[in-house]
């Protein structure tokens, strides 16, 4: 595995914090897009040697995660005329703190897992867990449907980073599964967002509160 991977992982970790600390939806979407682009670069950096197959997968990854899906989300944002995440369940500063603690815990936990010789010293496992946690935080503490979908994207990005450990041993199925799933899930969610927008004239899932225990 080439050494180019670790700087990219640091970029991804920094983007996690940028996502947690902002209220602007545009920043959240663009940050996720940047993360998608970094994942594409990671796909090329990790195997160390270039093949048409990796290039193709990287191109598809960047196309989906950095261009197509953020584009869809940006359009949904424009259509709904909302710009900011307001009153998240957990504020932006506490989110940042939680993200910091989570990243620290991920680093500690990753050290307890034994790695194959070619992966020793790599940040892959801790970056993956930290990104999954960031996605989970965005998903559970934000109110806007768009932010929740981006949270899910970030969570999927974290899973994708974990897949990098396997990219040499079992390259094809794992990535294809992840990409395919992502496309379908976001596609379905996109339709649902559309319906929420029409039914409630808003993309605020806080209005989705009819169903709860009394």
Binding site for other proteins (CB under 8 A): 112-116, 128, 132, 136, 139, 145, 148, 152, 155-156, 158-159, 162-163, 165-166, 169-170, 173-174, 177-178, 180-181, 184-185, 188-189, 192, 195-196, 199-200, 205, 208-211, 213-214
Q: Which is nearer to other proteins, 93 or 170 (CB)?
A: 170
Residue 51, CB half-sphere, CA atoms under 13 Å: how many? 10
Q: Which is nearer to other proteins, 25 or 189 (CB)?
A: 189
Closest distance to other proteins from the beta carbon of 39 (Å): 15
Nearby residues of 2 by Cβ (< 8 Å), 6 or more positions away: 45, 46, 48
Q: Contact at 8 Å (CB) between 141 and 23?
A: no
Q: Contact at 8 Å (CB) between 145 and 186?
A: no
Q: Which is nearer to other proteins, 22 or 128 (CB)?
A: 128
Q: Which is nearer to other proteins, 60 or 139 (CB)?
A: 139
Closest distance to other proteins from the beta carbon of 111 (Å): 11
Q: Contact at 8 Å (CB) between 8 and 58?
A: no
Closest distance to other proteins from the beta carbon of 109 (Å): 8
Q: If we measure between CA atoms, which residue out of 9, 13, 10 comes closest to residue 135? A: 13
Q: If we measure between CA atoms, which residue out of 125, 152, 189, 167 comes closest to residue 35? A: 152
């Amino acid at each position: 595995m080439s050494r180019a991977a670790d700087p990219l992982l640091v970029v991804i970790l920094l983007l996690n914090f940028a996502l947690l600390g902002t209220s602007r939806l545009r920043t959240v979407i663009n940050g996720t897009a940047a993360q998608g682009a970094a994942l594409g670069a990671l796909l090329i950096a990790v195997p160390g040697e270039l093949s048409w197959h990796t290039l193709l997968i990287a191109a598809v990854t960047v196309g989906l995660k950095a261009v197509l899906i953020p584009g869809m989300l940006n359009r949904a944002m424009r259509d709904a005329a909302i710009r900011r995440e307001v009153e998240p369940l957990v504020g932006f500063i506490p989110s940042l703190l939680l993200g910091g603690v989570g990243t620290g815990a991920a680093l500690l936990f990753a050290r307890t897992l034994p790695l194959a010789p070619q992966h020793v010293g790599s940040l892959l496992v801790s970056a993956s867990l930290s990104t999954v946690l960031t996605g989970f935080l965005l998903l559970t503490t934000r109110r806007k449907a768009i932010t929740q979908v981006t949270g899910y994207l970030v969570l999927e990005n974290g899973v994708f980073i974990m897949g990098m450990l396997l990219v040499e041993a079992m390259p094809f199925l794992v990535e294809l599964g992840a990409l395919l799933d992502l496309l379908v899930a976001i596609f379905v969610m996109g339709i649902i967002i559309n319906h929420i927008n029409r039914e409630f004239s808003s993309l605020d899932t806080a209005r989705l509160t009819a169903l709860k225990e009394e």
